[in-house]
Amino acid sequence: MSLFASEGKSAIKRAALSLVLTPFLPKPLKFAVTLAASLGAIKRGAKSIPKEGISGETMEAAAIVVSLLRGNYVAANTANLLIAISQAIEHAVVRRSDDLLLSLSASSSGLVWVKRGKEEIRIEADEARIGDIVVAYAGEAIEADGIVLSGTAAVNEAAMTGESLAARKERGSRVISGSIVEEGRIEIYAEAVGSGRAAAKIASVVADSLRSRSQTQYRANRLADRLIPLSLGLTGGAYLLTRDLNRVEALLQTDYSCALRLTVPVVFKAAMYRAGKTGLLVKSAESLEKLAKATTFIFDKTGTITNGELDVVEIISLNKTWSKEQILALAASIEEHYFHPIAQAIVEAARKNDNMRHFQHTAVEFIAAHGVFAYVEGKKVVIGSKRYLEEDEQIDLLSLTNLGAQTQRANLTPLYIGYDGALLGVIWLKDESRKESKEALAALRRLGVKKCVMLTGDSKAKALALANELGFDECRYELKPDEKAAIAKELRSRGDICAFVGDGINDAPALLAADVGVAMSKGADIAKISADITLLRDDIYLLAAAKSIADQTISRVSVASNLMIGVNTAILFCAAIGAFTPVTTGFLHNGSTIATLIASSLKGFKIPSLEASAAPRSPRKTAKRRSSKNL
């Protein structure tokens, strides 16, 4: 009974005691004890009439009342006990799932140390302000989203990422609320506090989603509502034909409504619980339902099918007075303020040189999806994409061609550096594809996904090389950041049911535009909030696990619903012809519901394991160009 909440335990105890004691009590007491034990079920049935009309709970209450009035206390107590057990199982499964999902999404909220001047003061976490320097010590929860300014610590981020091993955090590292400092001390520049924290926003979204119902649940409820008149009609017809109150009592013990209304949400909640244990934050039953229907998966490239962890592989200087090391130092001095994967790769490469110079500069300004600029010794330094330098800054890139430097290199990402209106150099970076990307695509196809599409801002040659290597069906290249959502809408307009997988700030519109959005574990906070499902580990193969759990959930709902309808139809027929007594009918009806609930909540889900996929495939369709400019 440890599975049940205290309220459920109390209801079961009262019903069980009444069933055991009633046969030994005087007749007046039998009625009083049975009524007291079943009063909760009777009240629920009465209260549901103004809200839902005649519902399954109303039918159950009516069956208990009829049995009471006829003095059939065994039938009344048996029905009440089985009803209490079935509801306790349902509440236990739902509570277990909801508690897990909220624990995966929620952040703690308590006291926090902040620096005010030269002092550290202890305040309520909700009183912290954006821009505060939050200090986190070993054993304490981090109460703000932000950037580490100083110190080093081992931080456990399992509550938000699912990763059990602590991550090293130092200057420049991003930290999220809800994480726990296991060792060390760090000072954090607070970018989001209180209800603005990513974890708080995600928890709010999850809390709202847990109160919602999927279309499958709505259909089950509507079907249950339509079947109630059948049960009532059969009951009324049996009485008119036979005048047998035993048959009426038996027929009232059976209805389709409660079986369907209890079973379907339990299947979904059991699936959401299993998903959470697997490393997936599924925000609602509807998210699973939509994922099961998905036939097309759209992937943003960087940080999704690639690691998003870039390495500097080559530096080209186009000015004889600047060495490669100086160009790297200049870029790192400015990019250290920017926590984009490219910026972090530049800074990391510069740190490897102990003698690297730091260039003094003015405040850095960011141009979304383009790059950054600042002034060094009065000269403007611009760092970013080819489009940014050519179109926005009118910097001539012909010098690359004149010097014989390659402007496009397969699988490499260029970062252009302009100085005082001229191209100073290019830093080439490489982002390796995830080792599990190819296997993840193959696993999705085995699960019935018909099309996998890759989106990227890369050049045609680079995009097609990766798409062919991984076996994508379609590739869209040279994209602007705002074109991703339009592509999701375009594919949906063709009749495709789309899942979009992304991790960046610019992916949020596409995550919302698709039928179902999936965010990577290391993705931007807004991406996680916008997504229906978040991977809690940095493992793209979890997509196959999510799709498999979703497919199995819908299959189980269908099997359970059909089974409940079939079993209850048979019970109703037997009760109508007088083959079953009220006790037998109540036992079979409620017993079958309990058995289905237990099977639905305890039966495991088969999770695909990472294995070699089928023979590699080339894209079936010609890759489509969306823009003549490279990002």
Q: What does the alpha-carbon distance between residue 482 and residue 504 come to, in Å, rounded to a whole number?
A: 12
The backbone torsions φ and ψ at residue 317, rounded to the nearest 5 degrees and listed phi first, read -100, 130
pLDDT at 7: 61
**Rounded Cα–Cα distance for residues 399 and 393 (Å):** 15
The pLDDT value recorded for residue 492 is 92
Instruction: Report yes or no: 309 and 509 within 8 Å, Cβ to Cβ.
Output: no
Q: What pLDDT, on a 0 to 100 scale, did the predictor assign at position 235?
A: 76
Give the pLDDT confidence score for residue 573 in this predicted structure.
86
Tokens 């939509």 map to which residue?
A: 290
Three-state secondary structure call for residue 526? helix
Q: Which CATH architecture has domain 111-196?
A: Distorted Sandwich (2.70)
CA angle 246, 252, 254 (to 5 degrees): 115
For residues 222 and 106, give the distance between their C-alpha atoms in angstroms, rounded to a whole number: 34
Using an 8 Å Cβ cutoff, are 451 and 295 in contact? yes
Per the CB < 8 A criterion, the answer to whether 261 and 597 are in contact is no
DSSP assignment of 236-269 equals HHHHHHH--HHHHHHHHT--HHHHHHHHHHHHHH
DSSP 364-413: -EEETTTEEEEEETTEEEEEE-HHIIIIIS----HHHHHTT--S--TTEE
| Class for the domain spanning 280-306+435-543+615-625 | alpha beta
Report the distance separating Cα 133 and Cα 239, nearest Å.
Answer: 77
Residues of the chain where predicted confidence (pLDDT) is lower than 50: 1-3, 107, 161-162, 164, 209, 403-405, 407, 611-631
Q: Which residues pair with 312 in a beta bridge?
A: 429
Amino acid at 175: V
pLDDT recorded at residue 14: 86
Q: From the centroid of its chain, how far is CA 69?
A: 51
Q: Give the per-residue pLDDT at 143.
A: 81
529 C-beta neighbours (distance < 10 Å), count: 17
Class of domain 311-430: alpha beta
| DSSP helix, strand, coil percent of the chain (3-state; round to 5) | 50, 20, 30
* pLDDT of res. 196: 56
What are the contacts of 128-134 at 24+ separation with CB within 8 A? Answer: 128/190, 128/193, 128/194, 129/190, 129/193, 130/190, 130/191, 130/192, 130/193, 130/196, 131/189, 131/190, 132/190, 132/193, 133/187, 133/188, 133/189, 133/190, 134/187, 134/188, 134/189, 134/190
Domain boundaries, the chain: 111-196, 280-306+435-543+615-625, 311-430
C-alpha to C-alpha distance for 449 and 497, rounded to whole angstroms? 10
Instruction: Quote the pLDDT of residue 584.
Output: 87
pLDDT of residue 123: 84
Question: Phi, psi at residue 42, to the nearest 5°?
Answer: -65, -45
Q: Which residues 6+ apart lie within 8 Å of 543 measured at CB?
A: 297, 440, 443, 444, 501, 518, 535
